[in-house]
């Protein structure tokens, strides 16, 4: 029977920039440019995830199946973050104006890729099926509802949902006390 996650020797061979302890990465995930990726401890990345580009992931983070992090301009995921399944997080975008062409098979002078770093702060939750645009900060404790489009920064300890994501209500902070029991 095949084990679903890479063992520690295999994780070392992948060539991550840095990685901590208790790192679980599905054998069915795709990792591009691992030398640009830093991983904390107590981290789990599930099946069919894609990690590509400049990525820094903290500790006690779960990235659920079918999630993609496209990080040409960088993505930072801080501690205690949950990213549910089928999310797309982009730090880059093509120019759709018609002035340039769009796709990576074309010569670089014919395309115009722009973007900005995405930052997902501690205790944030991104529910299933969301899209996060380049240059966005999801502040500490912010949460999105399922299938939300995050096209602006999300304020701390608030819950958002919709297309585009809009404020729904405040989020409780009880989990801050809980986190102190494992640090």
Is 3 within a domain?
no
* Whole-angstrom distance, CA of residue 45 vs CA of residue 114: 27
**pLDDT at position 159 over 70:** yes
Is 157 within a domain?
yes
Record the tokens describing residue 145, joined without a space: 């509802």
Kind of pairing, strands 158-161 and 166-170?
antiparallel
Query: Mean pLDDT, the chain, as a whole number?
Result: 96
Is 125 within a domain?
yes
* Whole-angstrom distance, CA of residue 81 vs CA of residue 72: 21
The range of the structural domain enclosing residue 156 comes to: 8-180
Determine the pLDDT at residue 2. 60
**Least confident interval from 86-90, 171-175, 178-182:** 178-182
Confidence of residue 175 (pLDDT cuts 50, 70, 90): very high
**pLDDT at position 133 over 80:** yes
Is 160 within a domain?
yes
Confidence of residue 1 (pLDDT cuts 50, 70, 90): very low
> pLDDT per residue over 50-60, tens digit each?
999 999 999 99
Confidence of residue 3 (pLDDT cuts 50, 70, 90): confident
Is 1 within a domain?
no
The count of structural domains within the chain is 1
Query: Cα separations (Å) of 71 from 105, 110, 179, 181?
Result: 18, 21, 28, 32
* pTM for the structure as a whole: 0.96
Determine the pLDDT at residue 95. 95
Is 119 within a domain?
yes
The CATH number linked to 90 is 2.160.10.10
DSSP labels for 17-56? SB--SSEEEBTT-EEE-GGGEEE-SSEEE-TT-EEEEEEE
């Amino acid at each position: 029977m095949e084990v679903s996650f890479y063992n520690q020797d295999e994780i070392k061979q992948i060539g991550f920039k840095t990685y901590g302890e208790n790192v679980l990465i599905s054998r069915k995930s795709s990792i591009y440019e691992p030398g640009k990726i830093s991983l904390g401890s107590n981290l789990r990345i599930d099946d069919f995830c894609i990690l590509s580009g400049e990525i820094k992931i903290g500790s006690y983070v779960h990235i659920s199946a079918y999630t993609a992090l496209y990080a040409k301009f960088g993505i930072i995921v801080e501690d205690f973050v949950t990213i549910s399944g089928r999310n797309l997080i982009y730090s880059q975008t093509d120019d759709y104006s018609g002035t340039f062409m769009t796709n990576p098979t074309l010569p670089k002078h014919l395309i115009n890729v722009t973007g900005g770093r995405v930052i997902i702060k501690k205790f944030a939750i991104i529910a299933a099926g969301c899209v996060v645009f380049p240059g966005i900060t999801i502040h500490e404790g912010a949460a999105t509802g399922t299938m939300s489009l995050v096209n602006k920064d999300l304020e701390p300890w608030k819950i958002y949902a919709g297309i585009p994501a809009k404020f729904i209500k405040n989020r409780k902070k009880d989990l801050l006390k809980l986190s102190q029991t494992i640090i």
